[in-house]
Copies of this chain bind each other. A is one copy, B any other.
């Protein structure tokens, strides 16, 4: 039976899981709390692929005598397979816990239920499905890859109240204020990869990196590694404009981030060419490219999936955003609305259409709204072909 106390401990486990949100990719965020005699005796969360899972970390400082008879709360079904670490389900059995409360089952059909089975066969009482929505929300990208074989795609846009991203002559700096720009940093930091276009990189000399000092942490970073992870940066570069010889002068190539250049099949540039210029962190992927319609974004998503990019944060111009929406592979729109009227003739924030009937327009679902400095951040979800 699930009690309100169970909910409270699971809520604590959810909070712990979030501490890994900037570092665990491609692994999921998982939190764990060990409780005995109404006291929390162990806390853990997964920090980084290759290091201890949440359950292992929560039990790390407990003797078997201490954990024996305890209840473990874990946001995701304990794993049952031998990977880089032994299965967590076995670790819980070994620790002698008498009850395990699980937020949600693993959604990978190949392993779903196996962790529970190990626990139950050891005579442990198991409850599944506590704060399930909250537990699921910890890992939209991880579950997207598991369930849809493609990343969770978030699109960032910034516009004036009248839906413009630039004046008719291209002038645009700065639409949003410093608080909104700092807020963008937290999304970048959470994403497995940032996806942008060669135009954005060349026009703005965008570094697309995460500046740790702009992130608001309300909990300590992993003590063993205080440097924030730099997300991978995927650049759509159909015309192969980001040549090895210009890399030196571009911030993008000088932040230490892994850059994935997606170029057309005929591009003459190779990873070796970048390596020879001193850029070892560049991957070149070559895909079919049509000068009019660009890349097939489904191909681009396949590259991201192969690279285990759970969450992709798209930060480019309105045209690319419109393509993602048109192709129905965008999951969330995050739109910063600046308190400005930029006037007619400017660049449209989402140049879809033109449409001739209202039923051709794109419907969104409002998920969240809040004020960020002087700007407003609106978050919408989109229904799409994989739902």
CA distance A180 to B333 in the complex (A): 22
Q: Name the segment of A102-110, A214-222, A360-368 touching the other chain.
A: A360-368
Identical chains bound together, number: 2
At the interface, yes or no: A117 with Cβ under 8 Å from chain B? no
CB 8 Å contact bits of A284-317 with B (1 = contact, 0 = none):
0000000000000000000000000000000000
Within 8 Å CB of A360, what residues of B?
343
Picked from B339, B344, B350, B356, the residue with its CB within 8 Å of the CB of A380 is B339
CA distance A345 to B352 in the complex (A): 9
Q: Name the segment of A41-49, A162-170, A258-266 touching the other chain.
A: A162-170
Q: Name the segment of A204-212, A234-242, A369-377 touching the other chain.
A: A369-377
Judged by DSSP, the binding face of A is loop
A341 touches B350 (CB 8 A): yes
At the interface, yes or no: A337 with Cβ under 8 Å from chain B? yes
At the interface, yes or no: A278 with Cβ under 8 Å from chain B? no
Known contacts being A356-B168, A358-B173, A369-B369, is A344 close to B348, with CB within 8 Å? yes
At the interface, yes or no: A335 with Cβ under 8 Å from chain B? yes
Picked from B173, B346, B351, B380, the residue with its CB within 8 Å of the CB of A161 is B380
CA distance A159 to B161 in the complex (A): 10
At the interface, yes or no: A327 with Cβ under 8 Å from chain B? no
B350 touches A162 (CB 8 A): yes
CA distance A380 to B161 in the complex (A): 10
B343 touches A364 (CB 8 A): no
Within 8 Å CB of A375, what residues of B?
366
B361 touches A339 (CB 8 A): no
**A358 shortest CB reach to chain B, Å:** 6
Within 8 Å CB of A349, what residues of B?
161-163
At the interface, yes or no: A342 with Cβ under 8 Å from chain B? yes
Known contacts being A162-B348, A164-B163, A371-B366, is A343 close to B337, with CB within 8 Å? no
At the interface, yes or no: A81 with Cβ under 8 Å from chain B? no
Picked from B169, B346, B361, B376, the residue with its CB within 8 Å of the CB of A341 is B361
At the interface, yes or no: A94 with Cβ under 8 Å from chain B? no
At the interface, yes or no: A354 with Cβ under 8 Å from chain B? yes
Question: Given known contacts A161-B333, A163-B163, what 13 new A-B pairs fall within 8 Å (CB)?
Answer: A159-B162, A161-B380, A163-B349, A167-B353, A167-B358, A169-B356, A341-B350, A343-B353, A344-B348, A344-B351, A366-B371, A366-B374, A366-B375
Residues of A with Cβ closer than 8 Å to B? 159-164, 167-169, 171-173, 325, 333, 335, 337, 339-346, 348-358, 360-366, 369, 371, 374-376, 378, 380
